[in-house]
Amino acid sequence: MARRRLAGPALAAALALVLTAGQAAACPPPQGWAGAGSIAGELWSAWWRPEPAPIPVGDHFSVRFHLCGPPVGRVQVRGWMPDHRHGMNYRPAVTLNGASGTAEGLLFHMPGRWQLILDVRGAAGREKLVGETVPE
């Protein structure tokens, strides 16, 4: 199970030191990613940011992400609305370049709490990283 949070990078880094014992090594966010979301898992940790930000309800958006941890083989990106138990009506396409990537074609069709889920696979194993967000 992944632990997740959305905070400013300084706060996130400080919390990461306190909370991530036994989890993937925290890594600094890529240059210029101030305000990006972070997700810490057992094997990997991720920085992610939507484009446009904030995420609009009912419009397509894309997500850029950067993973820290062992080599990454494959990443799938999904959305999930836990209160209603449904996902998105669109299947995003992911392009991966080393540990970074972009998912295009996401659409959150309802207001409220959504999870942004990265399914990460590599030689080291597979892991579900769950970030939280509320589209505007």
Partner 1 sequence: MTARRSGVSAAARPAAWLAGFAIAFSMLPGIAAPSPAFDFTAEEKRRILRHGPWPPASAPDPSNRVSGKPDAIAFGRALFFDARLSLSGAVSCATCHAPDRAWTDGLPRSRGRRTVDRNALSLFNLRFNRWFGWDGAQDTLWAQNLRPLLDRREMGIGPGGAARLVHADRRLSCGYRRAFGEAPGADDERVFVDLGKALASFLETQVTGRTPFDDFRDALARGDAAGQARYPAAARRGLRLFIGRGNCAFCHFGPAFTNGEFADAGVPHFVEPGRVDPGRLGGIRKLRRSPYTLLGAFNDDAQRSTAAKTRYVRLRQSNFGEFRVPGLRNAALTAPYMHAGSLGTLADVVRHYSTIDEDRLHAGGERILRRLDLSARERADLVAFLETLTEKGPRREVATKPADAACR
Q: Which residues of this chain interact with partner 1, rule CB under 8 A? A: 57-58, 60, 83-86, 88-93, 104-105, 107, 109-112
Note whether 81 binds Cu ion by CB under 5 A: yes
- Smallest distance from the beta carbon of 104 to partner 1, in angstroms? 7
What sign has the CA pseudo-torsion 63, 95, 90, 119?
negative
Q: Which does 119 bind (CB under 5 to 8 A by kind): partner 1, Cu ion, none?
A: none
Residue tagged 């939280």 (tokens) = 132
Q: Contact letters (x/-) for Cu ion, 88-117, by CB under 5 A?
A: ----------------------x-------
> Cα separations (Å) of 61 from 5, 30, 44, 50, 107?
20, 20, 24, 7, 6
Cis omega before residue 135 (within 30°)? no
Q: Which does 80 bind (CB under 5 to 8 A by kind): partner 1, Cu ion, none?
A: none
Q: Which does 92 bind (CB under 5 to 8 A by kind): partner 1, Cu ion, none?
A: partner 1
Between CA 67 and CA 40 the distance in angstroms is 10
Which lies closer to Cu ion via its Cβ, residue 58 or residue 73? 58
Q: Which does 74 bind (CB under 5 to 8 A by kind): Cu ion, partner 1, none?
A: none
Residues ≥6 apart with Cβ < 8 Å to 17: 26
